[in-house]
Amino acid sequence: MARRLTSSDEAALEELLMVDPVVNLFLLGFADEHPLSRWPWYGVPGWGGRLVAAALVVPDRLMVPFAPDERDAHRLGLRLRRHHVPCMMVGPRAACDAAWAAWAPRTQPARWHDQRLYVCDAPSSLPPIEGFRRATWDEWPKVAALSAAMQIEDMDVDPRERGQEHAKQVQERIRAGRTWVVEHAGELVYTVNVGTRGHLGCQIGGTYVPHRHRGRGIAKAATAAAVRELLKRHPRVTLHVNEANYPAVAVYERIGFVSHAAYRLATVQ
């Protein structure tokens, strides 16, 4: 049976997540930044104090499981049903599907995407792109607009409807140096964010090129530039993308990303 994890489970949790550090970059980074007591973590115990499955919950916002055995993912889902309402879920596909079936059997997701986790550990030979750089503080309104357009296109959700939360998130990423852009003739034509960062690697997301600038190779060249910069500090760069987004998949594979795992993304609104 799954149980709530405590600070005494830190070593066991790390041992479990290191079974696949590429898949678990986000969870490992989150555990490094936040004590287990700050956010709800749940685990399925095995023999000798080891954990065989675990899930992080950010209540009402996000659930991320890791469970090599689908039966353990089901046990996590049963525990979550008692304590948390369904929310966005992302992670390895089989574990997510089994956990969701137990956690929210009567909840119809608004989106249920087949994704792939990709990993890149060598820089591309593509030439540099002019105008690629970190976003500056005074550009945050432009970056926020591009970020909102990306979420509307991908998720059919406008984050600006949440009041100031979206603007604050954009500002925090820029302040931390986690947002890169390409500027052409005074206009931002590309943006990408760096999420998880740690000694095992980092993950990028939020890649976006406005419609009128697509078809010019900007996304390919700019993402290659971002990966080249990030590999100077990290051993690998990961991302996940919808399998049905064939243009994006082609771009990432051309840069050098290799498929690593089947992923699931589900949302309830």
pLDDT, position 48: 87
- How many C-alpha atoms does 255 have within 13 Å on its Cβ side? 29
Instruction: Please answer whether residues 130 and 185 qualify as being in contact, where contact means their C-beta atoms are separated by less than 8 angstroms.
Output: no
Buried b / exposed e along 118-127 (16+ C-beta atoms within 10 A)? bbbbebbebe
Instruction: Please answer whether residues 64 and 26 qualify as being in contact, where contact means their C-beta atoms are separated by less than 8 angstroms.
Output: yes
Question: 186-230 pLDDT, tens per residue?
Answer: 999 999 999 999 999 999 999 999 999 999 999 999 999 999 999
Structure-block tokens of residue 50: 């080891």
d(CA 106, CA 100): 10
Distant-in-sequence, close-in-space partners of 186: CB < 8 Å, separation ≥ 6? none
First to last CA, the chain: 30
Structure-block tokens of residue 70: 């689908």
Which is the CATH superfamily of the domain at 132-262? Answer: Gcn5-related N-acetyltransferase (GNAT) (3.40.630.30)
pLDDT, position 158: 79
Confidence at 160, pLDDT banded by 50, 70, 90: confident
Q: Is the pLDDT of residue 72 over 90?
A: yes
Instruction: Look over the chain and give the mean of its residue pLDDT values, rounded to a whole number.
Output: 95
d(CA 196, CA 26): 6
Rounded to two decimals, the pTM is 0.93
Q: Is the pLDDT of residue 156 over 90?
A: no
- Phi, psi values for residue 250, rounded to 5°: -65, -40
List the domain boundaries for the chain: 3-107, 132-262
Helices (H) and strands (E) in the chain, counts: 8, 12
Specify the residue for token string 């190779």. 217
Q: Is the pLDDT of residue 251 over 80?
A: yes
Please report which helix (H) or strand (E) contains residue 197, including its range. strand 187-198
Distant-in-sequence, close-in-space partners of 211: CB < 8 Å, separation ≥ 6? none
Rg (CA), the chain: 19
Question: 73-115 pLDDT, tens per residue?
Answer: 999 999 999 999 999 999 999 999 999 999 999 999 999 999 9
Instruction: Please answer whether residues 98 and 256 qualify as being in contact, where contact means their C-beta atoms are separated by less than 8 angstroms.
Output: no
